[in-house]
Structure 1
C-alpha cells in the first residue's frame, strides 16, 4: 500500500494505478464514504438508471422517423451537428 500526499489546499492526487483500479478517468467522479476509525472508502461513481430510460431516445418530435438508409448515411458522414 502506498501513501498519498495532502496539499496545502487539502487535495489529494490519485496515482494512475489507483485510477485504473477504480476504472475512472480524469473528469469522472468518485464516491467517498467515511467509515469508523478515520477510514474512507472510495469507489467509482456509476450513473444509475434503467434500460427503459433510453427508449424513445432517438424519437424525433414533429418529424417523421428516419429510415435505416438515412441513419446509415448520417453515420457514414460522421456526426457534425448537421443532417
Structure 2
C-alpha cells in the first residue's frame, strides 16, 4: 500500500467489510511505538452533534414544542 502525496491510503475492501467501515464512518488512529492502529471512533455521531450545535438558536418561527409536534403529526 502506498501513501499518496496528500497522506491518503485506500483501506482494502476486505478490511473495510470485516470492520464494518462504511462511507463516512469516523475512524481514529492509535499510535503505539512504531505501530499505528486504525479503529472506529468511539463517538461516531460527532458530525450530527456539530450540526445540531451549529443550528441551535437559528429558528425563525416562534412555535412551542407542542405546536411543532402537533404540526408534524398532522393534528389541527
* Cα displacement string for residues 24-67 of structure 1 (whole angstroms, at most 9, x for unaligned residues): 1111111111111x10111112437xxxxxxxxxxx8123966x
Pair 64,11 (structure 1): closer, same or farther in 2 beyond 3 Å: closer
Aligned residues: 54
Structure 2 match to 1:47: 43
The gaps in structure 2 that reach 5 residues or longer are 45-63
Provide the rounded CA distance (Å) in 2 between the counterparts of 1:33 and 1:19.
17
How high is the TM-score relative to the length of structure 1? 0.49
Q: Secondary structure of 2:67's partner?
A: coil
**What RMSD in Å do the two structures reach over aligned CA positions?**
2.7
Name the SS of the counterpart of 2:66 in structure 1.
Answer: coil
- Cα distance between partner residues in 2 of 1:27 and 1:64: 31
More helix by share: 2
Other-structure match for 2:12: 15
Which has the greater radius of gyration?
1
Alignment match, 2:25:
28
Q: Which runs of 5+ in 1 are unaligned?
A: 49-59, 71-83
